[in-house]
A and B are shown apart, each in its own frame.
Chain A
Amino acid sequence: MTDIAPHDHKHHVPSPYTVFALLLLLLLATVGVAYIDLGVFGLPVALGIAITKAGLILAYFMHLVHEKSLVRVFAFAGFASLAILLIILLADVNARHKGEAALRSPADSVCRLNEVNDLGAG
């Protein structure tokens, strides 16, 4: 018995050089796109290209397409957890006002309420 990964011979296996060439093309795109003013689409496009590069590395260099599904579940779990972190954090930041006050604690608002109560105290 040999200690090697299960091979799916039905699927066409791209050569690592092909994947590498694609990665270099995407790197060219990454730098090129950065110098074009896409306005609000700049960040999503840059991230989209980065995710495509990462996807190619994960799928072909890290063999996820050839591995058992359970391995893909483990890989996905890490990124799913990160997605939860980012979504909840960014939703929170986005719901506050922009600028210096954006990351202040809610306790600041509570303090102000206490000041108002003092007016009726004595």
Chain B
Amino acid sequence: MSSATRPDEEHPGFLAHHFDDPAQQREAATLGMWAFLATEVLFFGGLFAGYAAYRFVYPDAWIEGSRHLNVPLGTVNTTVLLTSSLTVVLAIQAVQRSDRRQLVRWLLATIALAVVFVAIKSWEYSMKFEEGLVPGSGFQLPHAFNSEVSVSQVQLFFGFYFVMTGLHAFHMLIGIILLAVYARLAARGRFNEHYYTPIENIGLYWHFVDVVWVFLFPLLYLIAP
């Protein structure tokens, strides 16, 4: 068993002792990540299911609530997030050629775009707060596009809006922290074309967060603009 303590060609340093070879280690990491993402699909899925049920029974309130959301800002945010998925892919392409500089740059670019997204989201939240559209005792419609709509039903829509986008933003914050950690490790030369599994996995996580937003945007902002 002495070869387990000495890194050599057959047992490179990044290979954990319980795996036979790097390919098996990488496959285990990939499957594990996808299993986690499957649970995340159900996590957000429950919220989407609740949204769907109430959209079905309160269609007018859902239309009313949606019309109070800012479509231009939502479109900008969607573009920002799609671009950040591109930068993650470019980061992975960089590490596949052991280009440390580009890897770090593209990871930092992803973080920058993510911060822009969260900043715009925060700005949207602050505007909702000022308008009185945050669910609670102070909830009110600043003006109604449809005067016959039920205000309490619109409040329910905004409950879904804040919980779904809030949970999404929380996932983005976690992603930003992880991207920053990996950017630091990358700058120190931890990854190269032989080993970059953590970069792949944070990429999977990031693309998942993007996919959730791809559904959130039309379902919340574009019901009937």
Q: Pick the residue among B46, B82, B204 that contacts A23 (CB under 8 A).
A: B82
* Size category, B interface: 35 or more
Which interface residue of B46, B82, B90 has the most chain A CB atoms within 10 A?
A: B82
Judge whether B37 and A57 touch: CB under 8 Å: no
| Interface check B125, CB cutoff 8 A | no
Partner pick for A3 among B14, B211, B222, B224, CB 8 A cutoff: B14
Complex: how many Å from CA A53 to CA B225? 21
How far is B27's CA from A6's CA once the two chains are assembled, in angstroms?
Answer: 10
Q: Chain B 9-40 against A: per-residue CB contact (8 Å), 1 yes, 0 no?
A: 01010110000011101110011001101111
Please name the residue on chain A nearest to B214 by beta carbon.
A53
Q: Is B52 a contact of A3 with CB atoms below 8 Å?
A: no
Report yes or no: B217 in contact with A30, Cβ–Cβ below 8 A.
yes
Check A54/B89 contact, CB under 8 A, given A81-B38, A86-B45, A99-B57. Answer: no
Q: Are B49 and A86 in contact (CB under 8 A)?
A: yes
Evaluate contact between B48 and A75: CB separation under 8 angstroms: no
Contact B38 A90 (CB under 8 A): no
Nearest chain A CB to B113 CB, angstrom units: 13
- In the A-B complex, list the 10 residue pairs whose CB atoms are closest, starting with the nearest: A78-B38, A3-B22, A78-B41, A34-B222, A74-B34, A82-B45, A102-B57, A16-B89, A46-B218, A20-B86
17 other contacts beyond A58-B207, A62-B204, A85-B45, with CB at 8 A cut-off? Answer: A1-B22, A1-B23, A2-B22, A2-B194, A4-B196, A16-B90, A20-B85, A30-B222, A34-B222, A57-B85, A62-B203, A74-B35, A74-B38, A75-B34, A78-B34, A86-B48, A93-B57
Interface residues of A (CB under 8 A from B): 1-6, 16-17, 20, 23-24, 27, 30-31, 34-35, 42, 46-47, 49-50, 53-54, 57-58, 61-62, 67-68, 70-71, 74-75, 77-79, 81-82, 85-86, 89-90, 93-94, 98-99, 102-103
Task: List 17 interface pairs A-B (beta carbons < 8 Å), by A numbering.
Answer: A1-B10, A1-B12, A3-B196, A4-B196, A5-B200, A46-B218, A50-B215, A54-B215, A58-B207, A62-B207, A67-B30, A74-B38, A81-B42, A89-B52, A90-B53, A98-B57, A103-B57
